[in-house]
Every structure is written in structure tokens, then in C-alpha cells.
Chain A
């Protein structure tokens, strides 16, 4: 078995403040080199928090993180100072939803890319500008020589997103974290950026963890999909397995709510209710109150982790056991 590029074990993230928020609970996740994984989830599911934890971007004073995270053999939890700065942008890099907020408005695109390359690779400024030009060509920005001297506000939304991808990939990271990078784009631009990312991933061979709430986008970009709900990873599998054979009732509900191939005029099978508040660590299945198939066992204890296949993970009480008599938390079983 090849060494995993990313290995997250039992990650817990809590935010302190006026009230405590249990944003991520007991998350286990691994990513092979060159693999594209999508974390799919709704707002508040903890998908963006997981990404930010991987880059150590969460405010330290107000966040309690526990667990283990390794990226390319680096222990992310223990990084400090210079080593952390080398890791960010060097080994792991990130793109965001809003390039206008992520890019610096007072420097040109070329200067921003060159600065990152000079800092990480220790090369001269002019060599850095050459890399920047090369990167703008790679992300297919038209007339790259001219765009190098543009400020972010002089570019269109799609172009800015390409520029941010160029910046993120300029130091050839082994892992790219993408937090809804196409959500703010128009439909015809979104598909261009998705296909570009797919191509660049093949060319550079990096691993990508992509976060989105849009199943269609996940299908276009990913090899594997991990579904999160209320801070917990509830199902993992290949894209085919999740789309064709979703096992968790929440995943099935999300697929139905996508409205793909729904006959107009028929009643939608909506998931009732709303996601739970996250002010306590869950002691039972968080989805049970909204789940059409839940039984008393589901609300009594944390659900077991089922492994119906290699690399497949479903956190759900097996159907046969949901109405069983008073049982304690079932151990992990193979279904």
C-alpha cells in the first residue's frame, strides 16, 4: 500500500466564545497522492473548518484542536514559526471562494505570484516573474504578459479565480485545498474552472481536497466523495459508489434534493427539519431527528462505523438493528 499523502486521525475542532461550537467531531480521513477527494456537506457541516484546520488557519486562541494530521509525512499539529510558513503554500496550498477577498488589492497578479515563489524557492525576483508568467499561461489566461501587470480589480471573476489557482500552484504544492472555488462563478465559467483544475491536477500530480455543497460539481471533479453532516463524516466512497449506491439516508436525501431528473409537478422528497445546533458533542446519530428510517437505537448511542467495501465507510446503524431492544453502542461491524 502506498503511503497516504494526507492522514487525519480523530480530528476534533471546538470553538470557544459566547457559546461552544463542536464544529468537527472524530473525523478520520486519508488521501492518496494524486487523488481528488470532495468533502460534500451543507452549511455548518464542518467541511470548511476541516480544510482550514489542515492549513492551521483557525484562530489559535479561540479554537481547541485535537487529533493527528499528517501531510506528506509532516506532522501538521506540531508546526511552528518558519516550518509552518514553509508548509503553507509550499507543501499545501489553498484556493478560496472569493478571489477578490483572497488576493491583495494593492499588488499586481505578477507581483503576488512572484513573491510567493521567491519566498519558497529562494530564487530572484525576475526569475519569480518568469514563473508567474508561466503559471498564467498554464491556467489559460488570455494575453498573460499584459495580465501579469493587472491588479485584481481589473480582471473578471473567472479570470481572478484562474489567477488565484496560478498563485496557489506556483510552488508546486503536493496538496491543494479548494474551498468552494467555483460557487461564486457563473455556470458557463464554473465548468471551465472545474475542467482546468482537473487538467492541472493530472499535469502536476497533486492531491486535491475539494469542498462543495453541490453534488454535480463533486461528480465533475472527484475520485472519491466524503459526506459530512453536523461535524461528522457520515459516508465515504468512490464517486460512483456515492452516486449509484449511497448507503446513508442523509446522502440519499441530498441526492434526491438535487432535483436532477425530477418530474416537474411531482412532490419533492424533502428532508424534514433543519441541521442541529452544535453546542454539545453528539452522543447519538446527529441525523436521527430528521431521518425517515431512524429507530430508537439511532437516538440512544453513537452509530457504528460500517465498512461495506474497501475504502467505503458508512456511519449508520444497520437497518436490522435500529429497532432492537436496549443495546449499547454497537461495535464496528462489516456489513
Chain B
């Protein structure tokens, strides 16, 4: 599937997420519109409990929205079975966690190759190339315990890229790192997005906001600035053409535009 001009790496349209609560349901996301273009770096900020983690889980196909639609690279992935979601995560999404979450029994290069561990063929060479790219070419066979925080986070980024994702989701990527290392990691994100990968980082760190193209704020489940202003204007006529292509209703309306 060729990448159409104007297609988003990730798009949420009117997404709601509710959790069953004691008396009435807890609303974690409230009619969220969110779109990220290939190569764009978006920082999501907001107080704790505002639904940032939920947003990331919904974007990362770890959780399903209660309402609204979700698209990755132009394909509707709102209602996938658990199996399909797992496959889609592997295919299109990379995760970078605050705690790195490397597998302690695997070496650096094996951690990078982990998502492909059960596939036919050996991804070790690719994993080694990626680590080399992040300056860890001499640490391939080190265990995670033998690596510094910054090195672990680089291994985690390499792992998130092993399947060439469209979207990289980062949960407080600099949260456990000192400023200097954090800056270096953000520098790595710059390179990642230079390859056309969209990066969404949930963060409290002002440094991340500096590196981001766009900062969106989530407050009590309401997202402001989720879609760029020029994009939002384009959306005006999107709804009439929904019948044209159930998978890409807004694209059918926008198709002619660059």
C-alpha cells in the first residue's frame, strides 16, 4: 500500500474511552481528535491522571477505544481481534518505555531482535546494524545489567525500530535519565523521525517539548491541539463522503489535495 500524500501515520477521530467505575463510568478520553504525520514528533503533556497513558495505550493498540475510530497509516484498526492487534503492533508500532523494559536474560542484540524472535529467519544482523547506528556496536553481547540508563534506552529504541514501524510511541522516554542523556536520546528520536517514522511521546519533561514539532495537552480526557489547524480546516467536508470508502472516508474527500 503506497503512502498517499496527506495520509497520517496515526489518526484518532472522536475517540472516547470509558472505564467501568463505581457509580458512573470514568471517562479517560473524551471525543479526542488526534493526527500525526509521518516524520512528525508530537509531545503529549498534561497532569497525571489526565488520560495520557490511556491515550498511548489506545494509540499503541494495547487498548481499544469505547467509541470513535482509529487509523494507522491510513488503515482502520478500530475493531481488530486480539490476534490482529498483536500482529499490527508488531508490524507498525514501536514502543519505548520509561523503565526501558529490556528482558534481563537476553543480551543487547537479542533484546533488539526480540519482536522477531519467533519469526523464521535470523534478525540478528539487522539488530546489530541498528545498535551500531545508535553507537552501541561494541555492546552487542552485553547484558542489560551491564549497560547504563542511556544505553538501555538506546537498546529499547533500537528494539522499537526492528520491524520498521510507522509510529513510535514513547512513555516518558527521558523520565529515568539525566538531562544530558535525555538530550542524547531526544537526538536519537530526531534521527528516527528523519526516516519518516512518526514519534508520539507522553512526557512531563520540558526538554521533550523543546524537541517536539508540536505539543498537545490533555486535560481530563480532553485533548487540545490534537490536529493541526490547517488539517482541521480540511476536515470540514470530510463527513459527507463517508460512503465513498469505508476504510478512508476523509481521504476520499481530500484525495485531490496535495
Our verdict on whether A and B bind, yes or no, reads no
Which chain A residues have a beta carbon within 8 Å of chain B's beta carbons?
A: none
